[in-house]
Chains A and B, each alone.
Chain A
């Protein structure tokens, strides 16, 4: 269970403390009659008449699972390998910049727009700049974590083109790699005061059969401030892979008792955990877990494939980076399954 502890420590540093600025009213923003920020007021515009994206933005979680068929086989193979390693080499877990990773489009950032440069300041203390001074992308840029970006306006849409990425970053937390030839296109639209949408497209023929991408929605975080969320504990200290758990064996008749469907609520959504046996091994499939969880645990590229559960004791199993504890009553009947997340345990009663 060392993995869980490491992940827990990762999130501790990001817990905000009480501070005045966290409920400091942003000056000069449109407000409703009751004094709340009016998020549907018109988007502000700069001196040049173009939308001004300046502000602190909080993005919803991004789920970026490209279709496996869209990936070259080496990218698929690598994604499977990373899944086996609990994605522990994900740059974010290694305290390295996330670069163009899809999930970096979620979460907190401050945008600062000036005529020649637009800066994106992320809460993990990385930043990128988008040059608006008319320059073209470099043909042969030095590979970098954040890439080189130039932008132009297409009507009210900011179009950003980037290249010059190193190949150490991922494009998705599910272990999707890219080459140094990656190009990223972003189209930003601030449709009103409080809402910013970005359409992101990854193009990298050596890695992807065809371009793929996602849309991320951000909301203006008015009347508050962004806090630092610094990674201090690299996953270098995590131990283990899916395949090297300790040799605990659970007799087949005990495992057979665990087979069944368990249902409950996780994060406001109904979730069903289907437990089955295949090849003498307990398998788990989570239905209704499309959203990213705070933990490491998630399936790889194919969320529908059952994943193996490895025994840690007679009742405790590990899989998908989560712990699974079966609750057995005094008659030996399995009543519940508890999913152990870094945010805490969640109990799912057995359905049949």
Chain B
């Protein structure tokens, strides 16, 4: 269970304390009759008449549709290897910049727009600069974590093209690699005061046969402030792999395992999630539906830690058993807390 502790320690540093600015009223923003920020008011515009994206934004984790057939074999192998290692090499777990990773489009960021440059300041203290001074992308840029970006306006849409990424970053938390030839296109639209949408497309033929991407919807975080979320404890200190866990020596009798087989449903955050638990080769397998994984439904081998607690991909699963020994629920133990899923059959 060392993995859980490490992950827990990671988030403790980001817990906000009480602070005045966190409920500070922003001056000069449109408000409704009762004084709340009017998020559907028109988007503000800069001196050039283009939308001004300036503000503090927050968005949910995107779940890109990922077609396994689209990934080149080396990417598939890499994803499998990283899954075995609990994704511990993920840059954000290593306290390294996330670069173009899709989850970095979620969470907190401050956008600052000036005529010549737009800066995106992330809560993990990384940032990127998008040049809007008319320069073109470099043909042969030095590989970097955040890449090099130029932007231009197409009507009210900001089109950002980026190149020059190193190949150390991932495109998703599931471990999808990319090459230094990666190109990213982002289309930003602030449709009203409170909503910013970005359509992201990754193009990297040496890694993916076809371009792929996702859409991220961000909401203006009005009347509050962004707090730092700095990674201080690298996953270098995490122990183990799925193979290690399998060798940990806890065995659960086949008839006990069989009682856990079934379909469990519930909510994870605000998303419906179904967990299908099956037996394969004497091992419990969880298939998570509603958590778009690499292979569509994400398959997690469940490694026993005790007779009722199992570990799969860094998440704990506890089966709740009634007095007849039948499983009634499974609880997913996340670093953010527990989520309970009731058995359907």
Docked Cα-Cα span, A150 to B64, in Å, equals: 39
Docked Cα-Cα span, A146 to B110, in Å, equals: 15
Docked Cα-Cα span, A17 to B119, in Å, equals: 23
Determine if B125 and A112 form an interchain contact, defined as CB atoms under 8 angstroms apart. Answer: no
Task: Map CB proximity to A onto B135-157 as digits: 1 under 8 Å, 0 otherwise.
Answer: 10011111111101000000000
Docked Cα-Cα span, A18 to B146, in Å, equals: 17
Judged by a CB distance under 8 angstroms, whether A152 is at the interface is no
B256 nearest CB across to chain A (Å): 42
**CB neighbors of B among A91-106 (8 A):** 95-97
Note all chain A residues with C-beta closer than 8 A to B21: 135, 138, 141, 148
Determine if A127 and B127 form an interchain contact, defined as CB atoms under 8 angstroms apart. Answer: yes
Note all chain A residues with C-beta closer than 8 A to B146: 125, 228
Known contacts A19-B138, A27-B133, A114 near B20 by CB under 8 Å:
no
**How many residues does chain A have at the interface if contact means C-beta atoms less than 8 Å apart?**
42
Determine if A96 and B134 form an interchain contact, defined as CB atoms under 8 angstroms apart. Answer: no
**How many residues does chain B have at the interface if contact means C-beta atoms less than 8 Å apart?**
42
B110 nearest CB across to chain A (Å): 7
Closest to A148 in B: B21
Known contacts A21-B148, A232-B96, A27 near B19 by CB under 8 Å:
no
Docked Cα-Cα span, A141 to B140, in Å, equals: 44
**CB neighbors of A among B215-233 (8 A):** 227-228, 230, 232
Task: Map CB proximity to B onto A25-62 as digits: 1 under 8 Å, 0 otherwise.
Answer: 00100000000000000000000000000100000000
Determine if A125 and B127 form an interchain contact, defined as CB atoms under 8 angstroms apart. Answer: yes
Docked Cα-Cα span, A24 to B110, in Å, equals: 28
Judged by a CB distance under 8 angstroms, whether B234 is at the interface is yes
Determine if A129 and B110 form an interchain contact, defined as CB atoms under 8 angstroms apart. Answer: yes
Closest to A228 in B: B144
Which residue of the partner chain, among B129, B138, B230, contacts A96 with CB atoms under 8 Å?
B230
Task: Map CB proximity to A onto B258-288 as digits: 1 under 8 Å, 0 otherwise.
Answer: 0000000000000000000000000000000
Judged by a CB distance under 8 angstroms, whether B313 is at the interface is no
Known contacts A110-B129, A140-B18, A125 near B145 by CB under 8 Å:
yes
Judged by a CB distance under 8 angstroms, whether B117 is at the interface is yes
Note all chain A residues with C-beta closer than 8 A to B113: 114
Determine if B227 and A142 form an interchain contact, defined as CB atoms under 8 angstroms apart. Answer: yes
Note all chain A residues with C-beta closer than 8 A to B144: 227-228
Q: Give the most central of B114, B125, B143: most A CB within 10 Å.
A: B125
Which residue of the partner chain, among B112, B134, B135, B236, contacts A117 with CB atoms under 8 Å?
B112
Which residue of the partner chain, among A19, A114, A143, A230, contacts B141 with CB atoms under 8 Å?
A19
Closest to B168 in A: A232
Task: Map CB proximity to A onto B102-144 as digits: 1 under 8 Å, 0 otherwise.
Answer: 0000000010111001010100011101000111001111111
Judged by a CB distance under 8 angstroms, whether A144 is at the interface is yes
Judged by a CB distance under 8 angstroms, whether B337 is at the interface is no
Known contacts A96-B230, A144-B228, A145-B228, A112 near B17 by CB under 8 Å:
no
Note all chain B residues with C-beta closer than 8 A to A232: 96
**CB neighbors of A among B1-60 (8 A):** 16-21, 24, 27, 54
Note all chain B residues with C-beta closer than 8 A to A97: 125, 230
Note all chain B residues with C-beta closer than 8 A to A142: 16-19, 227
Note all chain A residues with C-beta closer than 8 A to B134: 27
Which residue of the partner chain, among B54, B135, B227, contacts A21 with CB atoms under 8 Å?
B135
Docked Cα-Cα span, A97 to B231, in Å, equals: 10
Which residue of the partner chain, among B20, B135, B228, contacts A140 with CB atoms under 8 Å?
B20
**CB neighbors of B among A181-217 (8 A):** none
Judged by a CB distance under 8 angstroms, whether A16 is at the interface is yes
Judged by a CB distance under 8 angstroms, whether B95 is at the interface is yes
Determine if A127 and B125 form an interchain contact, defined as CB atoms under 8 angstroms apart. Answer: yes
Task: Map CB proximity to A onto B313-342 as digits: 1 under 8 Å, 0 otherwise.
Answer: 000000000000000000000000000000
Q: Give the most central of B27, B96, B127: most A CB within 10 Å.
A: B127
B275 nearest CB across to chain A (Å): 36
Judged by a CB distance under 8 angstroms, whether A139 is at the interface is yes
Note all chain A residues with C-beta closer than 8 A to B18: 140, 142
Docked Cα-Cα span, A205 to B263, in Å, equals: 62
Determine if B145 and A119 form an interchain contact, defined as CB atoms under 8 angstroms apart. Answer: no
Judged by a CB distance under 8 angstroms, whether A277 is at the interface is no
Task: Map CB proximity to A onto B292-331 as digits: 1 under 8 Å, 0 otherwise.
Answer: 0000000000000000000000000000000000000000
B25 nearest CB across to chain A (Å): 10
Docked Cα-Cα span, A119 to B56, in Å, equals: 14
Judged by a CB distance under 8 angstroms, whether B89 is at the interface is no
Q: Give the most central of A16, A112, A113, A134: most B CB within 10 Å.
A: A112
Docked Cα-Cα span, A151 to B18, in Å, equals: 23
A251 nearest CB across to chain B (Å): 43
Judged by a CB distance under 8 angstroms, whether B175 is at the interface is no
Docked Cα-Cα span, A125 to B129, in Å, equals: 11
A59 nearest CB across to chain B (Å): 19
Judged by a CB distance under 8 angstroms, whether B213 is at the interface is no
A222 nearest CB across to chain B (Å): 13
Judged by a CB distance under 8 angstroms, whether A278 is at the interface is no
Note all chain A residues with C-beta closer than 8 A to B145: 125, 228, 230
Chain A residues at the B interface, C-beta cutoff of 8 Å: 16-21, 24, 27, 54, 95-97, 110, 112-114, 117, 119, 121, 125-127, 129, 133-135, 138-146, 148, 227-228, 230, 232, 234, 236
Chosen A-B contacts, 15 in total, with CB atoms closer than 8 Å, are A17-B143, A18-B140, A19-B141, A95-B95, A96-B232, A112-B119, A114-B112, A119-B119, A119-B127, A129-B110, A135-B21, A140-B19, A142-B227, A145-B125, A230-B96
The 3 closest A-B pairs by CB, nearest first: A17-B142, A142-B17, A20-B138
